[in-house]
Amino acid sequence: TKKIKAALLGAAGGIGQPLALLLKQSPHLTDLALFDIAPVVKGVAVDISHISTPSIVTGYDKEDDGLVKALTDADIVVIPAGVPRKPGMSRDDLFNINASIVRDLAQSIASTCPKAFICVISNPVNSTVPIVAEVLKKAGVFDPKRLFGVTTLDILRAQTFSAEIIGQSNASSTFNVPVIGGHSGVTILPLLSQSKPPLKGVSQEQIEALTKRIQFGGDEVVQAKAGAGSATLSMAAAGFRFVERLIDAAFNGKSGVVEDSYILLKADASGSKELLKHTDNVELDYFSVPVELGPEGVKKILPIGELSEYEQTLMKKAVEELKGNIVKGVSFVEAKL
């Protein structure tokens, strides 16, 4: 059978641990490497190693070149490493810490497993994905088809909250709502007008409330956890869904696998042209778009479809903010590398 190795960086964290558990349940992986700077990661690996599934799981901390060992021969690298925002910490403080963590991890990926698919979860994804890209570019190993910012949690929220609003949370029908743009606040653009099945009997007022709930869904979790962290379990579920779809398309020969994901638009030149119709010709390097996945990663960016008038106004706001987020990531690498 085919060998498929995944490396999870930040595996001892709030997202990392449940994501490690889910990845261990995958019938497809043969190797699972867990890396974290927290030494407990070795114990996490031993713990889940008792689950009988095909993968061999190994935990690594910083000792003995742990990161290099975790990354060696990795086919897929998933990155939830970072720090959550603590009281008194500004968004800029958080940005600088996570940006440095992601930059350093990207450097190790560039030198150890440059051909791996990279799935970035560490926030702010709008900026951390450009950071990984810049590091790989400087190392001369960047393949835009293999780099993804995981925005799947926005899709899950859109599905769940849409079902809730029309009182069908127990119905068998699942709402499929494309969610494009970025991965925080107003950069998140749920295309509720394209919901399948359509959101019948929902007023414009409800659409706007639903949109805001999806955009700021993360805050609901932060508030409910009252200082103890942000979304971890739902994020792990989302990350797992993304990795499984990537494996299906890239390693298991499944065709027609589509998932919205935050990617470098140049990964598919024709797809990026299509987007310009919706952004008043403002060019963006990165955007979450519907992506058909294939053996090389990004196979094709799919058209976005028609936007409602309301969604067009959201698009303007999203584009404006996202542009700044992207510049912030790119210039972080230029300044510090």
Query: Catalytic: which of 28, 50, 183, 278?
Result: 183
Strand partners, 204: none
Q: By beta-carbon distance, which residue lies closest to ligand APR?
A: 13
Tokens coding 74: 């990795």
Kindly state the smallest distance separating residue 144's Cβ from ligand APR, in Å.
23
Nearer to ligand APR (CB atom), residue 230 or residue 279: 230
Axis crossing angle, helix 217-225 with helix 152-165, rounded to the nearest 10? 90
Nearer to ligand APR (CB atom), residue 229 or residue 303: 229
Q: Which residues bind ligand APR (CB under 6 A)?
A: 9-10, 12-16, 35-38, 80-84, 98, 101, 121-123, 229-230, 232, 235
Kindly state the smallest distance separating residue 318's Cβ from ligand APR, in Å.
19
Nearer to ligand APR (CB atom), residue 229 or residue 294: 229
Kindly state the smallest distance separating residue 31's Cβ from ligand APR, in Å.
18
Nearest to 34 by CA among 53, 54, 16: 16
Active site annotation includes 183:
yes
Distances from the Cα of 288 to the Cαs of 99, 205, 304, in angstroms?
Answer: 20, 25, 10
Instruction: Give 164's contacts (C-beta < 8 A, 6+ positions apart).
Output: none
Nearer to ligand APR (CB atom), residue 19 or residue 318: 19
| Radius of gyration (C-alpha) of the chain in whole angstroms | 19
What distance in Å separates the CA atoms of residue 208 and residue 248, rounded to the nearest whole number?
35
Cβ 185 vs Cβ 216: under 8 Å: yes
Environment class of 334 (CB within 10 Å of its CB; exposed 0-12, middle 13-18, buried 19+) = exposed
Kindly state the smallest distance separating residue 111's Cβ from ligand APR, in Å.
15
Nearest to 98 by CA among 76, 119, 79: 79
Q: Which helix (H) or strand (E) holds 33?
A: strand 31-35
Nearer to ligand APR (CB atom), residue 40 or residue 282: 40
Q: Is 78 helix (H, G, I), strand (E, B) or coil?
A: strand
Kindly state the smallest distance separating residue 128's Cβ from ligand APR, in Å.
8
List the catalytic residues: 183
